[in-house]
Amino acid sequence: MNYIYIDNDTALEQAMARCLKAPVVAVDTEFARFNTYYPMVGLLQLGVGSDNYLIDPLAISDLSGLKALFLQPETLKVVHAGSEDMEVFQHWLGCLPTPLLDTQIAAAMLGIGYSMSYQKLVAHCLNLEIPKGETRSDWLARPLTQSQCDYAALDVIHLFTLFADLEAQLKRLNRLDWVLAESSRLTESLPTLIEPEQAYLKLKGLSQLSPRQLQYLRLLAAFRERQAQFKNVPRNRVLETEELMTLAAHEVHSAAELKAGQLISSRSLRRYGESIVALGLEAKEADVSELPRRVVGDSTPVNKKKLDRLRQVVADQSKAYGIAPELLSRRRDLESIIKSDNQGQAELPASMQGWRQAVVGEPLLAAINQ
């Protein structure tokens, strides 16, 4: 098996000289994320034709070459199911790869399958079996075993070949640009890049809270986000989501209220009680103009006949284009169209603009009132 293990800056510089000249580079990572907010990178794999590199991030100090590669517009970076890899790159390198192509998305665009694993896609396209024995390895341990290195190298050795096969099919169907556009969305809305003040909007049950309670929840969620980032621990290791919602609903303004109500665990009370009370007082004293708008919940049942009609349109378009139906639309997209129609004018959600508009969006709008 052909690959080079890189554990020093000089060797990395030599590898980058090769990669920066390549029009396409296959990219994969191995990382750990057991009890941390950020993913912890254990290995970076790069493939350029017959040249493959395993880069040890625990031994590298100069990351400038990798950053230059990831940001070079002339080099296409190819990944498979790369959404979590994007969080790795953002935290580790401080940048995101561009341009980007995800072979899992390409497979869905070609109707091969939706959300296919790398192993299954390689088996389908290349008729090769990839061992799974090292999937749960400790990639932060050193030294890595020969078995780990071989397993990791296969991820880019086959990914490079896989891309060439998928690219040819996409070009024949004039869909390469569609896949590139869809792949670029992997770098958007990363969970670890959320603005702390916006974190509360990801929680459920907001329509049950008043503007004042929402302000308290906003402050609590932002506090939790910053603590999780600073300590590099999962959000719920700071405060459970259920605790946030309970505190917001009760609008705690004193230590006595907090203790008497038994609203949070003793651990949370001990660690963050003072901060929770201070945030409650801050929310209480906030000017009305600073409060979030009340969230209006839409409890109107979705018309089942319309939903079934739109689902059939998606199925028909999926068959006509040979694209996985899950890639064309999600249930919430169809519900959004129906709800906008209930308000007087059917509209496509933002997620159905771009290539989806002609393929499935316009047929959906045409069918909504048939």
Domain limit, last residue, from 175, 191, 207: 191
User: Would you state the pLDDT for residue 334?
Assistant: 96
Domain limit, last residue, from 290, 323, 347: 290
What is the rounded average pLDDT of the residues 40-69? 96
Q: How many domains does the chain have?
A: 3
**Positions marked active-site:** 28, 30, 85, 151, 155
Residue 105: enclosing H or E segment and its boundaries? helix 103-109
Q: What is the DSSP string of 291-350?
A: SPPPP----PPP-HHHHHHHHHHHHHHHHHHT--HHHH--HHHHHHHHHHHHTTS----G
The answer to whether residue 339 is domain-embedded is yes
The answer to whether residue 170 is domain-embedded is yes
pLDDT tens per residue across span 173-231: 999 999 999 999 999 989 999 999 999 999 999 999 999 999 999 999 999 999 999 99
What's the start-to-end Cα distance of the chain, in Å? Answer: 59
pLDDT tens per residue across span 106-149: 999 999 999 999 999 999 999 999 887 777 789 999 999 999 99
CATH number of the domain encompassing residue 354? 1.10.150.80
Q: Using 50, 70 and 90 to split pLDDT, how confident is the model at 93? A: very high
Cα angle for residues 170, 175, 177 (degrees, 5° grid): 115
pTM: 0.92
The answer to whether residue 308 is domain-embedded is yes
Same-domain pairing of 91 and 202: no
Same-domain pairing of 178 and 213: no
98 — alpha (psi -120 to 50), left (phi > 0) or beta? beta
Same-domain pairing of 67 and 206: no
Ranking 142-146, 294-298, 350-354 by mean pLDDT, the lowest is: 294-298
Q: Using 50, 70 and 90 to split pLDDT, how confident is the model at 302? A: confident
Domain limit, last residue, from 167, 191, 215: 191
CB burial readout 287-304, b (16+ within 10 A) else e: eeeebbeeeeeeeeeebe
Same-domain pairing of 141 and 281: no
Q: What is the domain range of residue 233?
A: 194-290
